[in-house]
Every structure is written in C-alpha cells, then in structure tokens.
Amino acid sequence: MLVNARDIIGGYGAIRIVNGVSFTLEAGETLALLGRNGVGKTTLLRTLMGLADRFSGTLEIDGQPVAARDPRKLARLGVTFVPDNRGVFARLTVAENIELARGCAYAETPVDVYALFPDLATRRDQPAGTLSGGQQQQVAIARALSVGPRLLIIDELSQGLQPSIVQSLTQALIEVTRQHGLALILVDQNPQLAMQICTKVMVMQRGEVVAEGASATLANDKSFLDLLIV
Ligand SMILES: Nc1ncnc2c1ncn2[C@@H]1O[C@H](COP(=O)(O)OP(=O)(O)O)[C@@H](O)[C@H]1O
Ligand SMILES: [Mg+2]
C-alpha cells in the first residue's frame, strides 16, 4: 500500500477544518478528491503534506510513518505536490524551475518532461513568470514530475485555464500515470474531468469524506453528482 491515511484531523492553529479523514491508495492508483468550495480539500492536502497542522491521525507512505510536519521525508519517499497557486518561480526560467527539483530527485530515471510537454521545450530559457497560466501549470507539473515521484498530488488542475490547454494537461496526466505507474491525487472543480483522469473518487463535505467509489460507476450516479452541486 502506497498511502495509508488514518483519522486525519487537521487545520490551522486552533481551527479544525479536516475532521477525521481516512483513505488508502495503492501504487499507481489515481484518486479524484472532489467537493464544493470550502469543504477542506486544500486543507486536507496541505495537512498530508505537512504544510498545515495535523492535530491527530497517522500517515504512512509505503509503510513508513510520516510525522505531522515532515515535508522532507515526504520528498525522500517520492511524494510531490503542485499547490493551487502552482508555486512557479516567476523570475527563473522554465529550465531553472525544472532543474531545481532535480536536486531532490527520487527516481534514477525521471519522467522526460520536455517530451511530455513539447510547449516547454521551445521555452526553456523563458522566465516562467512571462508564460501563460496554462504553460505555468505545465511548468509546475513538469517540476513535480522531474523528481520521478511515486505519488503526485495536484490541487486545482484546470482552474482559470482555457479548454485546449486543459485537454492537453489531461492527456499528459493520463499518459504519465499509466506509463510510470504513478499514483495521483487530483483536486479539480470539474468532476467529469477529474473522473476522466482518475479511476477512484472521493467526495468531501465539511471536512469529512461522505462518498467514495469507482469513477466509472459514480460518474453517472445522480445522487452522487448532487453532492457536488454548488
Ligand atoms: N490559512 C487558513 N486559516 C484559517 N482558515 C483557513 C485557512 N485556509 C483555509 N481556511 C478555511 O478552511 C476551510 C476549508 O478551506 P479549503 O481547505 O481551502 O477548502 P477547499 O479547498 O475545499 O475549497 C474554509 O472555511 C476556509 O475559510
Ligand atoms: Mg481548494
């Protein structure tokens, strides 16, 4: 088992946002994390990554316990995170953004990110801050993939991006997760998109998981989809 999260309670300072979330993920499995705005998706991801407070609960990656605030250990275990603001270094070039991550490479043979995103190959020397939003998302994902992770976590893949670039990001993620046996946790406002990329789905409400199952089954289930209506 790659990820084993048990009874995670987390939030910020004294504020409890995530109210006891448990889930597991096998190597190579892909999970869409859905739910309306403000239900605690970002806080759950940040709590798992050690970027928000974990008040209780346990996280194991590949059977190894990870303490509440230990992002370095997560990196060593092959877990990478693309935050909802993408976290691209605006003044560094595309190549510099990607090279930075290679310093903490997990796999010996990382993903060939320029083959995956040919757009970036022609823009290696361009400052990342001068790219379009979609290209910056490609840089953020390329940087995460260039460490050769076993688990990629992406918060808000398609937010604010035009449909054509969303489609190419979708294809790239489907391809890279299959080819590299890469596990994925994906948050997106578009449930159809997230369930197209991920085989499993989990829905949150008020900091708790209220539904989960196979995307293929739930993508057409009306009562399930009603949980997602804003
Ligand atoms: N830094 C923070 N400090 C306190 N509360 C926060 C902070 N960030 C988010 N929240 C609150 O946590 C709740 C869940 O937010 P979030 O995890 O961002 O939800 P989602 O990603 O599902 O939209 C919201 O009520 C939000 O106001
Ligand atoms: Mg969020």
Give the distance (Å) from ligand 2 centre to CA of residue 109: 32
Confidence grade of residue 112 (pLDDT, cut at 50, 70, 90)? very high
CA distance 24 to 190: 23
DSSP labels, the chain: --EEEEEEEEEETTEEEEEEEEEEE-TT-EEEEE-STTSSHHHHHHHHTTSSEEEEEEEEETTEEE-TT-HHHHHHTTEEEE-TT----TTSBHHHHHHHHHTT--SSS---HHHH-HHHHTTTTSBGGGS-HHHHHHHHHHHHHTT--SEEEEE-SSTT--HHHHHHHHHHHHHHHHHHT-EEEEE-S-HHHHHHH-SEEEEEETTEEEEEEEHHHHTT-HHHHHTT--
Give pLDDT, residue 16.
Answer: 97
CA of 40 to the centre of ligand 1 (A): 6
- Residue 40 Cβ contacting ligand 1 at under 6 Å: yes
Is 21:44 a contact under the CB 8 Å cutoff? yes
- Model confidence at 59: pLDDT above 90: yes
- Does the Cβ of 152 fall within 6 Å of ligand 1? no
pLDDT digits (tens, 9 = 90+) for 12-24: 999 999 999 999 9
| Average pLDDT along the chain | 95
Domains present along the chain, CATH in parentheses: 3-83+149-226 (3.40.50.300)
Ligand nearest to the CA of 228: 1
Q: With a cut of 70, say whether residue 230 has pLDDT above it.
A: no
Q: In this structure, which residue's CA is closest to atom 25 in ligand 1?
A: 38
Give pTM, 2 decimals: 0.96
Check pocket membership of 45 for ligand 1, CB cut-off 6 A.
no
Q: Does residue 149 have its Cβ closer than 6 Å to ligand 1?
A: no
Residue 68 has pLDDT above 90, yes or no: yes
Rounded to the nearest angstrom, the distance between the alpha carbon of 43 and the centre of ligand 2 is: 7
Residues around ligand 2, an ion, CB closer than 5 A:
41-42
